[in-house]
């Protein structure tokens, strides 16, 4: 059954591809990011391909925490209701421990963790008034083990996953499901500068896999499952000396 899905960070990458995939499945969309021109272009594409799908867009910086709830309420009014909220907005700034400006660390924590918490918190407040809903958070494979070149990024992703694991039992009785995604490498501007992206998949394939899992309201999923489910365990066993340059 078509539902209304809000996605943060829909102007690029996974958010963009997920919006297109969900539109193809007939869902109405509430799309946010800082770059409104990109969202408008996405809306135009979706409306052309799927004329029956309603698309609302709005500029929203998730680090303006007090603006997240009001944006959600505006979308709910525009679309009639919201059923699902995807906390997807995130940044990775490439890291050199002890040499980067601290500001980079702060920005990653504010966007990936605090921005997502603000999104999930507002979603819980809104969805519990309906007595049903679905919250989706995008963690990362790096939640399973921090890497030196993504130290703060990894920390934001494990913190987000733990936060969502704690939210899940709290909202279960309010009829709200929580899904946590742990993607491996998905081809987006976030990682296109990296020299190696093992087992990388396209954003379209990643979005398809995520939409399938969202439809089943799974608690969590590694995207794609193979080979990352196996790599997850190996990754934890690799000695520090092999991780040092990663
Ligand atoms: N690609 C991967 O391999 C991979 C793997 C694991 C997890 N992830 C996670 O997946 C999510 C999406 O990443 P992606 O790969 O699709 O990267 P991306 O192509 O760079 O997209 C990131 C999105 O986040 C938005 N964003 C960034 N800062 C924001 C802010 N302060 N407020 C609102 N929106 C903001 C960006 O839009 P604006 O710049 O227009 O605001 C953009 O739409 C992130 O949370 C990332 O950590 C990605």
Q: Are 5 and 27 in contact (CB under 8 A)?
A: yes
Tell me which of 7, 8, 12 to substitute to probe ligand 1's pocket, judged by most ligand atoms within 8 Å of the beta carbon.
Answer: 12
User: Which ligand 1 atom is at minimum distance from the Cα of 92?
Assistant: 47
Please tell me whether the overall predicted TM-score, pTM, comes out greater than 0.85 for this model: yes
Q: Considering only CA atoms, which residue is closest to atom 2 of ligand 1?
A: 186
Residues with CB under 6 A from ligand 1: 8-15, 33-35, 38, 60-63, 88-92, 111-112, 115, 138, 140, 183, 185-186, 188-191
Which residue is catalytic, options 126, 153, 163, 182?
153
Q: What is the Cα–Cα distance from 226 to 184, expressed in whole angstroms?
A: 10
Farthest CA pair distance, the chain: 55
Alpha-carbon distance of 201 to 216, in angstroms, equals 22
Which mutation among 186, 187, 190, 203 tests ligand 1's pocket best, with the greatest number of atoms within 8 A of CB? 190
Which residues on adjacent β-strands are paired with residue 32?
Answer: 8, 58
Which regions of 196-238 does DSSP assign to beta strands (E)? 201-202, 220-223
pLDDT (tens place) for every residue of the chain, 246 residues total = 679 999 999 999 999 999 999 999 999 999 999 999 999 999 999 999 999 999 999 999 999 999 999 999 999 999 999 999 999 999 999 888 988 899 999 999 999 999 999 999 999 999 999 999 999 999 999 999 999 899 999 999 999 999 999 999 999 999 999 999 999 999 999 999 888 899 999 999 999 999 999 999 999 999 999 999 998 888 888 888 888 778
Spacing, Cα 88 to ligand 1 middle (Å): 6
Q: Which of 66, 89, 115 has most ligand 1 atoms within 8 Å of CB, for mutation?
A: 89
Domains annotated on the chain, with CATH: 4-243 (3.40.50.720)
What number does the ligand 1 atom closest to the CA of 142 have? 6
Question: Among this protein's residues, is 65 annotated catalytic?
Answer: no
Long-range contacts of 75-82 (CB under 8 A, 24+ apart): 75/4, 75/6, 75/30, 76/4, 76/126, 78/30, 79/4, 79/28, 79/30, 79/54, 80/4, 81/4, 81/130, 82/4, 82/5, 82/6, 82/30, 82/126, 82/127, 82/133
């Amino acid at each position: 059954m078509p539902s209304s899905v809000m996605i943060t960070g829909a102007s690029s990458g996974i958010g963009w591809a997920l919006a297109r995939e969900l539109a193809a499945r007939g869902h109405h969309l509430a799309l946010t990011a800082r770059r409104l021109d990109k969202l408008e272009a996405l809306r135009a594409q979706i409306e052309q391909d799927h004329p029956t799908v309603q698309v609302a867009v709005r500029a929203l910086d998730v680090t303006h925490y007090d603006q997240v709830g009001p944006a959600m309420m505006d979308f709910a009014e525009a679309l009639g209701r919201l059923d699902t909220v995807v906390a997807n907005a995130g940044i990775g700034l490439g890291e050199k421990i002890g040499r980067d400006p601290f500001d980079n660390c702060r920005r990653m924590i504010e966007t990936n963790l605090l921005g997502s918490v603000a999104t999930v918190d507002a979603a819980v407040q809104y969805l519990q008034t309906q007595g049903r809903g679905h919250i989706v958070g995008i963690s990362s494979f790096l939640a399973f083990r921090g890497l030196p070149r993504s130290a703060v990024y990894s920390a934001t992703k494990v913190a987000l996953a733990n936060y969502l694991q704690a939210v899940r039992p709290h909202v279960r009785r309010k009829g709200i499901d929580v899904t946590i995604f742990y993607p491996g490498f998905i081809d987006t501007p976030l990682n296109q500068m990296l020299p190696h992206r093992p087992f990388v998949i396209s954003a379209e394939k990643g979005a398809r896999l995520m939409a399938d899992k969202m439809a089943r309201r799974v608690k969590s999923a590694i995207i794609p499952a193979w080979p990352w489910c196996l790599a997850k365990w190996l990754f934890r066993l690799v000695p520090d000396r092999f991780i040092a340059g990663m």
